[in-house]
Structures are given as C-alpha cells and as structure tokens.
Amino acid sequence: MNYKALLILNRYKGGIVGVFLLLFLVTITIYTLLNIPSSERAEWNNPSYWINYPKNAAPFWTNYFMGIFDQKLPEHTIFTMNDAALKNYSEGTDYKIENRTFVYDYDFQTFPPAFSIPYSIQVGEIPPAVEISIKRPDGAAFVIYYNSLESTYTGIESQNRANETEEIQFNDEPLFENQNRTSKDDPTTNIASQRLFSSSREISESLSEYTNSFDFPIRGLPAEKIIFSDTKNNVPLQGKYEFIFSTYSFDDDTKVKDIQWIIEGKVHGLMGTDEFRRDISFGIMIGTPVAMFIGITVAITSTMIGLFYGLISGYKGGRTGGFMVIIIDIFLSVPTMVLFIILSLNYGKSLLFLIGLFILFGWPGLALINRTFSIQIKNYPYVEASKLMGESDFRIVLRHIVPQLIPFTMANFALSVPAAILGEAALSFLGFGDPSFPTWGQMLQDAHFSSAEILGYWWWIIPPGLMIAITSMAFILIGRSLESKAKLDKKR
C-alpha cells in the first residue's frame, strides 16, 4: 500500500468504519429478505407461534460466564418424538400399551422455570387413555397425569373441565391447544391434540398424592419444584430423569402422531427471549430491513425535496424566494415530536403515515442550506457569463449549481437516515409507532412495559438499542466523511 493510499485511509478512517458498519446492516437485510419468508416475519406478534420458546431466557452464552462460578442456568430443551425410546407390549388381547421414554440428564443448580407436553393422537373407535410418569434419579417414580381422551374431549363436561383448567394457567396459557375431530367415523381425521402445562391442575393434583415422599411441605409449590427436587430439602436433584408417555389403546386405529417434552430453560438462543417467548435475535433480524426502509425512504425523499426547493428558492430570489423562505420558517418552527404524537393519536399509527410525517418535516433544514449556497453560486462570474451568453435558467442550474450542491446533499442524506430511524424508535418507544411492524423501537417499548430494565432482562434492551446505535453511527460516520470531502474540494 503506497503512501497516498495510507493518507486517504487516515483522512477518511471514520467513513471507512461507517462503510463496514453499513455493509454489516446490508448483509443482515439481504439475509433476512432471502431466508425468512414474509409469512414467517408476520408471526412476530403471534403468541402461539412462540409457544415452544421459554420466557425471559438469557442468551445461551451467559452460561460460559456462569460456569466460572459453577452456577450454570438450565438450558431450554425440546425433546421430539424421534428422541424417545419406544416400547410396545400387550396385556391380554383387549388392549396394548406404548411407552415412549425420554431421558433427560439434569445437572443444573436451579430449577427449570416450567415444562409442557404437547401431543397429538389419532383416536380410533375406542378412545385411548394417556398416562404420563416420571422416574427420578433417586429411584422414585411419580405419575403426574392420567386421563381418558374420551372424557377429556367430548361433551359439555369436558368443555367445562377445560374452562376450569384454563383458570389456573399462568399468564392465560390454555391447556388445550387444538382439537380436530371432524368425523368420528373416519379415524384418519380424528386427531386429538392438546398441550399439558406444568401449571395445570391435573399435574398439581397428581403430585399432591406424593406429599409423604418429601420431608418438607410441597403444597403450593410449582410442579417443576417438586419433580426436580430432592426429597430432603427443596433443592434441585441432579441426575438422569426418565419421562414416560404411555398410551393405552384398545384398537389398531389409535396412533400417537406427535409428542414433545419441552423443559423450559433460563438460557436459550444467541440473544435470549422476551416476556412473550419471542426470540430476540429473530426480532433484530426482521427489524433491520424495516429500519433501513424507514431511514433510506425518508432520507431520499426529504433530501430531494430539500435540494430542489432550496435551489429554486435561492436562484429565483425576489418575492418568490422570500415566500418560499417563509414556508421553510413555518415548518422549522413547528414542534415536530409533539405534532407527530397528536397526529398519530388522531389519524392512526400506520408506518407509512409516520414515514410521510418524517418526509413532510424532514426537508426544510436542508432546503435552507441549499438556498444559501444557491444564492452564493448564482453570483459567481462564470454563472453570470453563462447568463450573458443566453443559456437558459434550467441549463445553468443543472450545469453550474446542482453539481456543487451534490456533496453537501449527499452528506445530509447520510445524516438524515439515522435521524429518521431514531425518530421512529422514539415514537415507538412512547407507544405511537406501528405495532404491526417489528421495529427496534417497538422491541424497546415492549421491554419497557414489561419492566425489563427493573427485572434485569438486559438481553431484551441492549440488542435493539445497540442496533439503533450501530445504524446511526454508520450513516453519521459516512456523512461526516462526505461533508469533510465536500469542504476540502470547495477549498481547492
């Protein structure tokens, strides 16, 4: 690398850093648009889409630091049907039993926050019975659930039972996820699906029968703090657990279609999860194209308006120019944030509406600067000479004035992008953003309303805040470099 290249790198090192940051954002944007379909991005606000994720889980890599103090947090674990060991056997000719056993090696110092068991069964002519039991490392075995699908799924009695069960779910989590029994005569469509939560009443009632197995009172304790507890003290019992899902079927049409054991963890994913079980890294990725769209759309449109409005105002001068300056002053005197909030309250929180507001009030500052430059440039001798030679105003503007305004316009364009992104983030944080679009500002608002800063959920606050800072820094560094180059060229 020669001396001239090193000199250029040193002079514009801020701009080079900004370009690398911009490439990072563009890479995320392209990856998101190509690999995450729009239908999946639209699931951000759909609670059922995230039902298998843990609540408020920290990033997985926090365990590397916790491990130094021998305090690893439980990891979120999902066992699928393929992870289970299947054992079939029959007792007589009347029914058969299928046992699916999941082995879980629990070696953490704290209890898991919860667990859930979603499953689907194709029900034959005679409904089967389901039993869920657990074998613990100390040899104890607990039956935590037993029920006949017939009594659970049909009739008013079962519906009342479902409603009663929902009342004791934490955070309104329904026990019954889905029921699809379109035809009792057609076993292929007679699918019974449900999700059993650790907070369900059935499990609590089943565990209450094991009170004498513990040396401390277990009444009122969550199921996970009983199942995973030592019998002497209410501390986690480490070792291998066997979760056994048994079906008692009475015909050949009954088949287990799907089953999962979900042990909710306190760490999960690259950036953790939020109160609504959503993956923070997913929100960061799908929020990047939205932020880039807002920033670039507002910057391009407001910059073009500011360029030509200021140019015309300065070049025309006289009463026309004076009137145009009054319009600029009116826009500059408006308290934009207050006006945005009032307009959002009265005319909706559409993202396109907000972009329109940012454009409407984003051009006057640039127009005023371009007007000043236009007045100076039109009085230069070579511009006067062009007028004397009979060149049209349109040709003079395009040939002599616009090229000199481009560097500053580009610099202002780069600086307008972070202004628009920060404006949207501020409005979203205050609750005036478009909730249908996942933006970093919306993520910060959700975190604030869930008291994430008080509860210590730092992984919910830092990533969106950091992305806003990175985006702003990228365009600010590029804008400052362009501005410096424009000033340097002007001196030459």
pLDDT for 2: 61
Measured distance CA(60)–CA(56) in Å, rounded = 12
Which residue type occupies 216? Answer: F
pLDDT value of position 178: 43
How far CA 163 is from CA of 73, 118, 123, 222, 481, in Å, comes to 34, 18, 22, 20, 64
* Length in residues, the chain: 492
Helix (H) or strand (E) holding 245: strand 239-249
β-pair type (129-135, 96-106):
unpaired
Instruction: Pick the closest to residue 196 from 145, 121, 265 (CA basis).
Output: 145
pLDDT at site 341: 79
What residue type is assigned to position 348 of the chain?
A: G
DSSP state of 12: T
Q: Are strands 77-79 and 261-264 parallel, antiparallel or unpaired?
A: antiparallel
Q: Identify any residues that bridge with 122 across adjacent strands, giving them in sequence order.
A: 191, 255
101: left (phi over 0), alpha (psi -120 to 50) or beta: beta
Q: Which residues contact 177 (CB under 8 A, 6 or more apart)?
A: 48, 51, 118, 193, 194, 195
Query: Would you call 409 exposed, middle or buried from its count of C-beta atoms within 10 A (0-12, 13-18, 19+)?
Result: buried
CB 463 within 8 A of CB 288: no
> DSSP secondary structure string, 276-338?
T--BHHHHHHHHHHHHHHHHHHHHHHHHHHHHHHHHHHHHH-HHHHHHHHHHHHHHHTS-HHH
Q: Are 268 and 60 in contact (CB under 8 A)?
A: yes
Residue 3 is predicted with a pLDDT of 61
Give ∠ CA 184-190-191 in degrees, rounded to 5.
155
In this predicted structure, what is the pLDDT of residue 223?
92
Using an 8 Å Cβ cutoff, are 243 and 116 in contact? no
pLDDT values of the chain reduced to their tens digit, one per residue, 492 residues: 566 655 665 666 777 888 899 999 999 999 999 999 888 888 888 888 999 999 999 999 998 888 787 788 999 999 999 999 988 877 666 778 889 999 999 988 899 999 999 998 888 778 888 999 999 999 999 999 988 876 555 443 444 444 444 433 434 444 444 444 444 455 556 888 888 898 888 898 899 999 989 999 988 899 999 999 999 989 999 999 999 999 988 887 888 889 999 999 999 999 999 999 999 999 999 999 998 898 889 989 999 999 889 888 888 878 888 888 888 888 888 888 788 778 777 776 788 888 888 888 888 888 888 888 888 888 888 877 887 787 788 888 888 888 888 877 887 888 788 888 888 888 888 877 777 778 888 888 889 888 898 899 999 999 999 998 998 888 888 877 877 766 656 555
- pLDDT at res. 79: 93
CB 469 within 8 A of CB 397: no
What's the CA angle centered on 174, arms 173 and 177, to 5 degrees?
A: 125
Q: 472: closest CA among 438, 429, 426? A: 426
CA–CA separation, 386 and 380 (whole Å): 10
List beta partners, residue 181: 190
- CA-CA-CA-CA dihedral for 265, 270, 272, 273, to nearest 10: -100
Q: CA-to-CA distance for 34 and 42, rounded, in angstroms? A: 15
Q: In terms of DSSP bridges, do strands 190-197 and 85-90 run parallel, antiparallel, or are they unpaired?
A: unpaired
- The DSSP code sequence of 53-111 is SPSSPBPTTHHHHHGGGT-PPPBPEEE-GGGSEEEEEESSSS-EEEEEEEEEEE--SS-
Contacting residues for 73 by C-beta, under 8 A, at least 6 apart? 58, 62, 63, 66, 108, 110, 265, 266, 267
Structure tokens at 338: 């207050």
Cα angle 80, 37, 296; round to 5: 140
Q: What is the pLDDT, as a whole number, of residue 9?
A: 58
Distances in Å between the alpha carbon of 90 and those of 65, 124, 151, 231? 50, 17, 23, 34
The SS3 call for residue 386 is helix
State how far the Cα of 55 lies from the Cα of 113, in Å rounded to an integer. Answer: 9
CA dihedral 288, 290, 296, 300 (to 10 degrees): 180
